[in-house]
Structure 1
Amino acid sequence: MNLTSKVAVVTGSSSGVGAATARLLASKGCHVVINYSNSSDAAQKVALDCQHFGVETLVCQADVSDDDACKGLAAKAIAKWGRIDILINNAGTTKFVPHHQLDGLDKNDFFALYGVNVVGPYQMLRACEFALRASGDAAVVNVSSIAGVRGIGSSIAYAASKGALLTMTQSLARVMGPEIRVNAVCPGFIQGEWLEQGIGAENYQKIKNSLEESAPLKKTCTAESVAESIVNFVEGHSIVTGQHIILDGGQSLM
């Protein structure tokens, strides 16, 4: 896919992987919808970064677990550009609870995580489906996690939600063709403030060092390296749908 003048919706793009993906798409000539739930100032900063590449942006507040908000986000993009060619379902949430502490999670935690991590991507694709099909060569990339493949990560609820997102990626890929490709990326440890704050600075550094020592590529993900793989699914892989790729420096091989 030639990204020049295409339109991409990137959920959760005020920081981290979403922001890096928005910037990379913009650098390739793609107009971008910057979505945030709370961080308006950060979203505006990302929009300015994207505009430096000569593209247009649209900053939209929306909680993807809210169906009406998803419909409104898609409608605003279509009203501005008349099209949507790319959907990156990056918005996500978690609760940090050690897996052995079963009392640390209740049904409301599961509902909250599934609402953003699983229902949100479904609602966003549904809201964008008409425009994506009209594009004729559209791409959807869901940001899952190694947690969804291996049952690890910040909590059992998080791992379960990301596993469900991978299953849903396959289901949607079967019915969205031939106009829309649906794939997923599964990052491992991603360097950044979000994870460091979640697990604590000391634990963050210890885990990062351990993974980088043992992984065949001796590295862990950055927001930019994950964005690179997301955009590769968008502009390449024209024959691929319903697949996921693990991004962990080869750590899962060990």
Structure 2
Amino acid sequence: MTALVTGGGTGIGRAISQALARLGHPVAVVYSRSADDAQATVDAITTAGGEARAFRADVTDEASVRATAADVRAALGPVTVLVNNAGGTEHIPLTDLDAATDEIFERLFRLNTLSAWHCVTACAEDLRAADDGCVVNVGSASVDSGRGSSVPYVVSKAALSGLTRALANALAPVRVNEVWPGLVITRWWAGKEEQGRKLATSAIVGRETTVEDVAAAVVGFVTSRAITGQTLTVDGGATL
């Protein structure tokens, strides 16, 4: 019943890790560079009575992911819930086509799309053996609007949506779904929090979407056994 959360030490990933621990899952908090944040997340979970450990992996590298999955399996048990939350962006004005180079497209595709594929294939045997194996991909509401931090970012997250549906078929009866957060104030907004909050509160519900809101949507997918191949937008109605 182990849950593996990539990018699990900060922001949305931390909230998801803590929410899954409250469900009773031992949590593998996977990080790339944020070792201190990952350990802080583990400490918060264990202090609350849960079980968690931090594991380092480069999710863009298949060998690194497979080695980490083996370490998780040995330490916490088979992975029955996989949350592909790791990701990143390049802030490039949408109108600046020349700045969106092939290198940036390839880097973001590896980080936002191929990383999920690596994690799924590394955990596929565990997921298929589980009573209710479940994968949740963390995408972006920018796929729907076509507006985001850059064209390569939007495209890489759109590819993740295609991967979600393909895997729902390929892995069945393992369930594969995705959440699309809208504007959520995380460390990506460092130094621009007030600007972000003004934008976020323009959503029709009249308040900003929080990391806990996104985590609640992930929990819904994990616990709702009849849902697969679906996308849930979590943005307070901002994209309506």
Q: Aligned equivalents of 2:200 and 2:49: distance in 1? A: 39
1:226 aligns to 2:220 (yes or no): no
Q: 1:164 to 1:51 in 2, by over 3 A?
A: same
Q: 1:44 to 1:211 in 2, by over 3 A?
A: closer
Write the letter of the residue equivalent to 1:217: V
**What pairs up with 1:196-235 in 2 under 5 angstroms?**
196-197=189-190, 201=192, 204-213=193-202, 215-235=203-223
Contact kept in structure 1, 2:31 and 2:38, CA below 8 Å:
yes
Deviation at 1:211, TM superposition (A): 4.1
Match of 2:226 among 225, 235, 239: 239
Q: TM-score, normalised by structure 1?
A: 0.91
Identity of aligned residues (%): 36
Query: What secondary structure is seen at the aligned counterpart in 1 of 2:147?
Result: coil
What one-letter code is carried by the residue in structure 2 that aligns with 1:168? L
3-state SS in 1 of match to 2:239: helix
Cα offset, 1:207, TM superposition: 4.7
The CA distance in 2 between the partners of 1:24 and 1:247, in whole Å, is 16
1:90 to 60, 82, 85: 85
For 1:54 and 1:207, the matched residues in 2 are separated by 34
Q: 2:215 is matched by which residue type in structure 1?
A: A
Separation (CA, whole Å) in 2 of partners of 1:193 and 1:117: 17
Question: In the alignment, which residue of structure 1 is the partner of 2:162?
Answer: 167
Q: Which residue is equivalent to 1:117? A: 112
Are 1:181 and 1:240, in contact at CA under 8 Å, matched by a contact in 2?
yes
Note the residue ranges of structure 2 that are not aligned, 5 or more in a row. none
The aligned amino acid for 1:15 is: T
Question: What is the SS of the residue equivalent to 1:218?
Answer: coil
The reply on whether 1:190 has 2:190 as its aligned counterpart is no
Aligned-partner Cα distance in 2 for 1:132–1:23 = 21
Q: Counterparts of 2:52 and 2:89 in 1: how far apart (Å)?
A: 28
Hey, what's the Cα distance between the residues in 1 that align with 2:4 and 2:65? 11
Instruction: Specify which of 75, 90, 94 is matched with residue 80 of structure 1.
Output: 75
Q: Is the 8 A contact 2:69 2:122 kept in 1?
A: yes
Counterpart of 1:3 in structure 2 is none
Three-state SS of the structure 1 residue aligned to 2:209 is: coil
Q: Distance in 2 between matches of 1:46 and 1:229?
A: 20
Match of 1:240, SS? coil
The answer for the alignment partner of 2:238 in structure 1 is: 251
RMSD: 1.3
Q: Does the 8 Å contact 1:70/1:127 carry over to 2?
A: yes
1:176-202 deviation line (CA, Å, top 9, x unaligned) = 111x100000011001232x23xx52x
Structure 1 residue 94, shift from structure 2 partner: 0.5
Asked if the contact 2:185/2:196 (under 8 Å) is kept, the reply is no
CA gap of 1:55–1:154, structure 2 versus 1, over 3 A, is same
Q: Aligned pair count? A: 240
- Aligned partner of residue 207 in structure 2, secondary structure: coil
Measured against aligned partners, the alpha-carbon deviations of 1:20-63 in whole angstroms (never above 9, x if no partner) come to: 11011112211000111111111111001111232322211101
Q: Secondary structure at the match of 1:251?
A: coil
Query: Is the contact between residue 148 and residue 161 of structure 1 (CA under 8 Å) also seen in structure 2?
Result: no
After superposition, what is the alpha-carbon deviation per residue over 1:87-113, rounded to whole angstroms, capped at 9, x for unaligned?
000000100001001122211111110
State the 1:151 CA deviation.
1.2
Q: Secondary structure at the match of 2:142?
A: helix
Amino acid at match of 2:24: G
